[in-house]
């Protein structure tokens, strides 16, 4: 019995936490069966998937994962060091997130996913804007040197309208193009419902 078949027996499963950290042979090509299994878990509300250091994970794999995300309250997806993931994969993820009208918590880690561009960050911001019930957002863009002030401004504007948002955790460490202007614009667009704020703009010393 493989992992996907095993899930079919767990009809009351509410939460999944799976770690594949450092499994470099995972490309995502074989995740379609896994995705179909997730769709059949009608009671599933929380999912945590760690693909960090799966350096051969590609857009198709992320697309398969995204297709399995249904009826969830909480999503934690770690793609740190998945250097083959691009805007196309992020777009597929966002298309699935847009259907999760009851999503309350989201944690996405794109640390050093350097094929993600400004366009991908924009697409993600527009996606989050539509999720009215989000209460907690954590986004990690550590090392994405393409991110500029305008990207930070656009993201903060999109999050501003989330009336249920209580917790915001943003990491832009080593995003060296961000300046004072970006920080000022971010502070101007923080919503009144926010209760907890964590910002990381650390820069590694040369």
**Interval 10-44: pLDDT, tens:** 778 999 999 999 998 887 767 888 888 888 898 99
Is the predicted pLDDT of residue 166 greater than 80, yes or no?
yes
- How many whole angstroms separate alpha carbon 84 and alpha carbon 178? 24
6 domain-assigned: no
Share above pLDDT 90 across residues of the chain, in percent, rounded to a whole number: 79
50 domain-assigned: yes
pLDDT band for position 8 (cuts 50, 70, 90): low
pLDDT at 75: 98
- How many whole angstroms separate alpha carbon 133 and alpha carbon 154? 20
- How many whole angstroms separate alpha carbon 18 and alpha carbon 1? 17
174 domain-assigned: yes
155 domain-assigned: yes
For 2-11, 63-72, 84-93, which range has the lowest pLDDT when averaged over its residues? 2-11
- How many whole angstroms separate alpha carbon 91 and alpha carbon 142? 19
- How many whole angstroms separate alpha carbon 149 and alpha carbon 71? 34
pLDDT at 24: 85
3 domain-assigned: no
pLDDT at 7: 66
Distances (CA, A) of 55 to 51, 80, 88, 105, 167: 9, 9, 17, 26, 30
pLDDT at 4: 57
Residue 61 belongs to what domain range? 14-200
- How many whole angstroms separate alpha carbon 78 and alpha carbon 84? 14
Widest CA span of the chain, in angstroms? 55
CB contact set of 147 (below 8 Å; sequence gap of 6+): 118, 121, 141, 172, 175, 177, 178
Q: What is the pTM (predicted TM-score) of this model?
A: 0.93
9 domain-assigned: no
111 domain-assigned: yes
Which CATH number do you get for residue 143?
Answer: 3.80.10.10
**What's the whole-number mean pLDDT along residues 95-115?**
96
Indicate the number of domains in the chain: 1
Q: Strand order in 105-109's β-sheet?
A: 15-19, 46-50, 74-78, 105-109, 136-140, 167-171, 196-200
Instruction: Give the closest residue to 37 by CA, choosing from 55, 18, 19, 51.
Output: 18
pLDDT band for position 2 (cuts 50, 70, 90): low
- How many whole angstroms separate alpha carbon 47 and alpha carbon 28? 17
**What is the rounded average pLDDT for all residues in the chain?**
92
59 domain-assigned: yes
More reliable by pLDDT, 19 or 2: 19
What is the β-pairing status of strands 15-19 and 46-50? parallel
């Amino acid at each position: 019995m493989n992992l996907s078949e095993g899930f079919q027996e767990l009809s009351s499963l509410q939460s999944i936490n799976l770690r594949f950290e450092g499994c470099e042979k995972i490309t995502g090509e074989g995740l379609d069966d896994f995705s179909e299994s997730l769709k059949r878990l009608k009671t599933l509300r929380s999912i945590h998937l760690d693909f960090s250091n799966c350096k051969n994970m590609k857009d198709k794999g992320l697309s398969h994962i995204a297709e399995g995300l249904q009826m969830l309250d909480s999503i934690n997806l770690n793609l740190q060091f998945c250097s083959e993931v691009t805007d196309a994969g992020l777009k597929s993820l966002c298309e699935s997130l847009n259907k999760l009208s009851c999503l309350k918590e989201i944690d996405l880690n794109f640390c050093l996913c350097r094929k993600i561009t400004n366009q991908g960050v924009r697409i993600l911001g527009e996606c989050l804007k539509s999720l009215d019930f989000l209460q907690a957002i954590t986004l990690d863009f550590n090392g994405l040197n393409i991110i500029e002030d305008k990207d930070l401004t656009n993201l903060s504007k999109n999050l501003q309208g989330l009336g249920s948002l209580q917790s915001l955790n943003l990491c832009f460490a080593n995003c060296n193009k961000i300046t004072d202007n970006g920080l000022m614009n971010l502070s101007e667009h923080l919503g009144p419902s926010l209760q907890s704020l964590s910002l990381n703009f650390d820069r590694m010393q040369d």
